[in-house]
């Protein structure tokens, strides 16, 4: 049968990335405490395409994924990148897995446990012999406004904020480490299940640690600066203000 993809291109121009996006697959990811956990991922797979080829072979991307049955980590992603590049006869390859990561949360007083999901991703790019890895996660926290607390006779406005961290790394960096850094940078972590004793504790704890988005992003960045496995990072904080129709925002990058 005629292989149209390998035929000549009408416009002789190389393509930086070509492939498939939003491929949903069941996934086994590395878990620091349980060894592994099952989840589901949206996967993007791309390679470069030389100017002389009309198109890539889309089915080959799925063939590589269908024959891959390992726990997702930096080592297995490197192997998968090499397989994709070889199968597609490319010079570079990029893979990204977006998935919910489930982490058991314990209520601070009652000890009640329930899992909380954190939108996460692992992305890898292979060019030549070099592989660049990026790990990212989004973590909700609670913030209490220091200004509102200082000027009010009773209470202060509080709200939920999101801490988004992405970083380049070496060695074995656990998602749980990034989740803990983000959770501990706000006025309080958020919890999936709270009894009344827990709610009292969380409220009083948060009001004893008021924080602007500037405070949260600096605390997270300071912890990331100290981490020996992190080569670069970007941390963002977005606070969904309860008394405004807009969000407060802050960002620190160390590239």
What's the CA gap between 218 and 182, in Å, rounded? Answer: 11
CB 102 within 8 A of CB 39: yes
Rounded Cα gap, residues 136 and 165, in angstroms: 5
Write out the residue range of the structural domain in which residue 232 sits.
7-254
Q: Look at residue 28 in the predicted model and tell me its pLDDT.
A: 96
The model's confidence at residue 36, banded by pLDDT at 50, 70 and 90, is very high
Q: Is the dihedral of CA 71, 133, 79, 16 positive or negative?
A: positive
pLDDT at 2 over 60: no
Tens of pLDDT along 81-132?
999 999 998 999 999 999 999 999 999 999 999 999 999 999 999 998 889 9
Distance CA 121, CA 136 (A): 5
**Residue partners of 29: CB distance under 8 A and separation at least 6:** 36, 37, 39, 71, 72, 73, 99, 101
pLDDT in tens, 229-251: 999 999 999 999 999 999 999 99
Residue 240 located in a structural domain = yes
User: What is residue 56's predicted lDDT score, i.e. its pLDDT?
Assistant: 79
Considering the domain boundaries, does residue 219 fall inside one? yes
Within a domain: residue 1? no
Which among 244, 148, 231, 227 has a CA at the least distance from the CA of 187?
A: 148
Q: Is residue 91 part of a domain?
A: yes
Q: How confident is the model at residue 51 (pLDDT cuts 50, 70, 90)?
A: confident
Domain count for the chain: 1
| Of 107, 129, 139, 83, residue with least CA distance to 205 | 107
- Report percent pLDDT > 90 for the chain: 85
CATH number at residue 22: 3.10.270.10
Q: Locate tokens 């803990």: which residue? A: 180
Whether 202 is covered by a domain: the verdict is: yes
Cβ atoms of 166 and 136 within 8 Å: the answer is yes
Q: Is 101 a domain residue?
A: yes
pLDDT of residue 1 exceeding 70, the answer is no
- Alpha-helix residue ranges (DSSP H) falling in 38-117: 58-66, 74-88
* Rg value, the chain, Cα: 22
Q: Is residue 2 part of a domain?
A: no
Residue 86 lies in a domain: yes
DSSP 244: S
Q: pTM to 2 decimals?
A: 0.92
């Amino acid at each position: 049968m005629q292989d149209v993809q390998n035929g000549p291109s009408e416009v002789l121009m190389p393509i930086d990335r070509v492939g498939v996006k939003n491929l949903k697959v069941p996934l086994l990811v590395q878990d620091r405490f349980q060894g592994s956990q099952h989840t589901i991922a949206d996967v993007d797979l791309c390679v470069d395409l030389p100017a002389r080829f009309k198109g890539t072979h889309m089915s080959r991307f799925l063939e590589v994924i269908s024959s891959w049955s390992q726990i997702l980590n930096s080592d297995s992603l490197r192997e998968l990148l090499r397989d994709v590049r070889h199968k597609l006869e490319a010079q570079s390859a990029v893979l990204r897995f977006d998935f919910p990561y489930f982490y058991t949360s314990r209520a601070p007083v009652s000890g009640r446990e329930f899992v909380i999901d954190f939108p996460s991703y692992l992305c890898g790019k292979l060019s030549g012999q070099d592989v660049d890895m990026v790990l990212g996660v989004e973590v909700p926290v609670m913030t209490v406004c220091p200004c509102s607390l200082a000027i009010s006779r009773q209470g202060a406005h509080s709200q939920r904020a999101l801490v988004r961290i992405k970083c380049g790394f070496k060695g074995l960096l656990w998602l749980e480490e990034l989740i803990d850094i983000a959770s501990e940078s706000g006025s309080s972590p958020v919890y999936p299940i709270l009894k009344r004793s827990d709610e009292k504790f969380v409220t009083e704890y948060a009001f004893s640690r008021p924080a602007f988005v500037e405070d949260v992003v600096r605390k997270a960045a300071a912890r990331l600066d100290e981490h020996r496995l992190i080569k670069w990072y970007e941390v963002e904080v977005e606070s969904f203000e309860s008394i405004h129709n807009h969000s407060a925002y802050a960002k620190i990058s160390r590239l």
